[in-house]
Each structure stands twice: as C-alpha cells, then as structure tokens.
Homo-oligomer: A and B are copies of this chain.
Amino acid sequence: MSKREQEIIAAAAAIFKEKGYQAATTRDIAAAVGIQQATLYYYVKSKEELLYLVVREPVDRLYMQVEAIMKTSLPARVKIEQGIGAHLAAFDDNYPHMLVFVQELHNVVQTLRDRLRGFPRRYQSLWEDILRQGVMAGELRSDLDITATALMILGMCNWMFRWYQKGGRLDAQTLAKQYAETILDGLTARPAS
C-alpha cells in the first residue's frame, strides 16, 4: 500500500469518527489529505470501500488474537483477562479505526457483511466459547446466561468508543486490568484473607 493510500485511509478514519459515516463525504476526506476528490477516486472506488479499508485490518487482527487465546489451555480467568486486554488494546493501537468500527457498526454490518465474513457475530461466538469452557471447567459460575454475559463484556469494552481518547488519563492497559478484575471478582469489598 502506497504512502498516499495510507494517508487517505487515516484521513477517512478521522473523518468517519468526527462526522459519522453517513454525513462524511469523499470530498471531506480528499480535502483532509490535500488532494482533489477526483484524485481520491484514483485510489479508492467509493466511500464504502474506504469504510472497509479503515476497519478490515484491526478487526481481523483482534479476531485472530482472541481466537488464539480461546484455543489455549489457559484457565478461563486468564483467557478473560487476555481477551479484554486484546480488545481494549485494539482501540488504542488502532485509534481511531476501531472506534469507527463500533460507532458505525450498523453501517458496517449492512454494507460490509460479506466482506467481513460476519465479524461481529463470529467474535461474539468466540467470547461465548471462552465463557462456556470456563463454566465446564468449574471455574466460572454456571447460573449465568452465556450469551448475556458475552454481550455484557463486549458492551463494557465497546463502549470505549464513546469516550476513549488516546493519551487520556486512563490508558487501555490500566482499564483492561480493572475491567477484568471487576468482571471476574466483582465490585464488592472482601475481607482481607
């Protein structure tokens, strides 16, 4: 991928995040790169193509990371910690591409479904697998609905797209540690043992 293409994708990510996918135009994106709209169409064929280019790599990478975690024989606790870590790190490492992905999930799912091979649903299934393994091994509570719990974890992680700012007070690693501890051990204070 040429330097110019990389610039275009970075500008598209920033403008999709700022204006939203629907309101953003290829004219805005061309202007941000300092090129004519016609020149932009030399590199990419549509706004839809740009959305795909913005989200594809970070989304594929996150899926593969969590799939690898799921397939290990680590305790469920460690899998959950590592999975939350990978998820939040994806927001940080691919800022603002992953934020665009979550913010525009509705558009992504409608326009890119086939090309992302059902990503959101497949990713949720990975998390359900991790939880199910943990319940089967007796490590996790068996009285909780697996799907609801997976969606709860995805929700608390994905909500970052509303407020996360790279370089802010709380970094992704600190957040991941706190989120994993809360989800595994709860907020309730326990007597020192």
Which residues of A pack against B, CB within 8 Å?
Answer: 20, 22-23, 77, 80, 103, 105-107, 131, 134, 138-142, 144-145, 147-149, 151-160, 162-163, 170, 174-175, 178-179, 181-190
Contact = CB atoms under 8 A, between A and B. Distances in A.
Contacts of A106: 20, 103
Given A144-B181, A182-B186, 12 more contacts: A134-B187, A140-B189, A142-B189, A145-B178, A147-B170, A148-B174, A152-B179, A155-B158, A158-B159, A183-B183, A184-B188, A185-B186
Contacts of A103: 106
Contact of A187 (B154, B160, B183, B188): B183
The 6 closest A-B pairs by CB, nearest first: A155-B159, A186-B186, A22-B22, A185-B186, A155-B156, A156-B156
A139 B189 CA distance: 5
Given A22-B22, A106-B20, A188-B77, A151 B144 contact: no
A148 B160 contact: no
Q: How many copies does the complex hold?
A: 2
A188 B189 contact: no
Query: Which of A151, A156, A158, A181 counts the most chain B CB atoms within 10 A?
Result: A156
Contacts of A184: 186-188
A189 B137 CA distance: 10
B149 A178 contact: yes
B152 A182 contact: yes
